[in-house]
Amino acid sequence: MPAAADVSGCLLPRSMASQLQLLQALPVINIGRLGDKDPAARALVVQDIARACLDRGCFQVVNHGVSESAMDGAMAAAAEFFEMSNESKEEFASTDIRHPVRYDTSSRDGISKARSFFKHYANPLPDWVSFWPLQPPSYREKMGEYAMAIQDLSVQLMGAIVQGLGLEPKYLQQELTEGLQFMALNNYPQGSSSLAPTESIGLAPHSDYGFLTILLQSSPGLEVLHHDDAAWTPVPAIRGALHVHLGDHLEVLSNGRLRSLVHRAVLNNNESRISIASIHGVAMGEKVECAEGLVDEGHPRLYKASSFHDFLEFLPTNVKACRRFVETLKIDTA
């Protein structure tokens, strides 16, 4: 098979050609000019984000303002936590999904296939950081720095997304600034080519609650199912980039113009893998509904209002049903 050419016409080895094809399938957007005072410059970035949201339900961002030291620090803190003794980690084990800090494994949670995870709330940071572990010693500092930077980024991205929907850029800005940030640290073991396909799944297909999920991954393993695709697309781990995908409440807010992204995690045959997912929404008890500006005679309301509390009520009923939360919110318009 001949090598492929990059955009400059240079020949690429097959492995690099495959990587280039992935990058073309998964938009990588430079968002450095989102804060530009020139409306035309910002509009171009908004247009790129809007197209990616509509066509793919996800994209990666570069020049996003989150320092590499903050990303590296968060990944190091996560690795140090998972490397602690089982006894130390089990101090945070809980069957209560409402607990502010929770450690669990795939053998108990009934949803994931092969992972251990550590979940906690992060915004507003002063409200939650006292619940975080004191060990490893730098965990609160490193993860806190990353969480605050990602929270700021989420508000910036949401401003661009709602503008792309035709709403004001500051639509829900205050609610999101003060809203929910839920962090999920995932630890996946190294896979093997000898495993059966079902045994190589680290986390089963699902879509996320909230408006946006911003993901940092140590190595490839995330796969996404684009809206009109029949096959899974692997997401490359690009140094310095962050992966962004749309959640169920953004589908609701957009009244179905955008759709939440179905994704899964597969085991990496070359190494173990850590990912840090930061999920963003409004306050826990606040209802999200279709934006009034996107509802009219030609576009009737398609979803019921719901909150994070409603999502938590839904979770225990879904262990075996494998439904998506957003599916339970759809209004029958027939």
CATH no. for residue 164?
Answer: 2.60.120.330
Assigned domain for 1 exists:
no
Domain holding 94, by residue range, is 65-328
Contact 103, 93 (CB under 8 A): yes
User: Which residue type, as a one-letter code, is found at position 92?
Assistant: F
CB count, 10 Å around CB of 66?
A: 20
pLDDT band at 218 (very low <50, low <70, confident <90, very high): very high
Assigned domain for 334 exists:
no
Strands 273-281, 58-62: pairing is unpaired
Assigned domain for 304 exists:
yes
Q: Is the pLDDT of residue 90 over 70?
A: yes
Confidence (pTM): 0.91
Contact 328, 305 (CB under 8 A): no
Residue where the block lists tokens 């494994």? 105
Task: Tally DSSP H helices, then E strands, for the chain.
Answer: 10, 14
Assigned domain for 333 exists:
no
Range 235-247 average pLDDT: 97
CB count, 10 Å around CB of 225?
A: 17
For residues 71 and 51, give the distance between their C-alpha atoms in angstroms, rounded to a whole number: 27
Query: In angstroms, what CA-CA distances link 232 with 25, 92, 265?
Result: 11, 34, 11
Assigned domain for 165 exists:
yes
pLDDT of residue 108: 61
Using CB atoms within 10 Å of the CB of residue 231, give its burial: 0 to 12 exposed, 13 to 18 middle, 19+ buried: exposed
**Lowest mean pLDDT segment, chosen from 16-20, 29-33, 42-46:** 16-20
Assigned domain for 233 exists:
yes
Q: What single DSSP character describes residue 260? A: P
CB count, 10 Å around CB of 211?
A: 29
For residues 274 and 129, give the distance between their C-alpha atoms in angstroms, rounded to a whole number: 21
pLDDT of residue 280: 98
For residues 16 and 14, give the distance between their C-alpha atoms in angstroms, rounded to a whole number: 5
pLDDT band at 334 (very low <50, low <70, confident <90, very high): low
DSSP 3-state assignment of 60?
strand
Q: Is the pLDDT of residue 329 over 90?
A: yes
What is the residue-averaged pLDDT of the chain?
90
pLDDT of residue 122: 98
**Lowest mean pLDDT segment, chosen from 15-19, 71-75, 214-218, 233-237:** 15-19
Residue where the block lists tokens 């169920």? 248
Q: Number of folded domains in the chain? A: 1
For residues 318 and 110, give the distance between their C-alpha atoms in angstroms, rounded to a whole number: 10
> Token digits for 286?
């606040």
Q: In what order do the strands lie in the sheet with 201-206?
A: 201-206, 262-266, 222-225, 233-234
Assigned domain for 229 exists:
yes
pLDDT band at 30 (very low <50, low <70, confident <90, very high): very high
161-216 tens-digit pLDDT: 999 999 999 999 999 999 999 999 999 999 988 888 888 899 989 999 999 999 99
For residues 143 and 149, give the distance between their C-alpha atoms in angstroms, rounded to a whole number: 10
For 41, residues 6+ apart whose C-beta sits below 8 A from its C-beta are 33
Q: Is the pLDDT of residue 6 over 80?
A: no
Range 275-301 average pLDDT: 96
Assigned domain for 6 exists:
no
Instruction: Give the E-state strand segments of 84-143 in sequence order.
Output: 101-105, 116-121
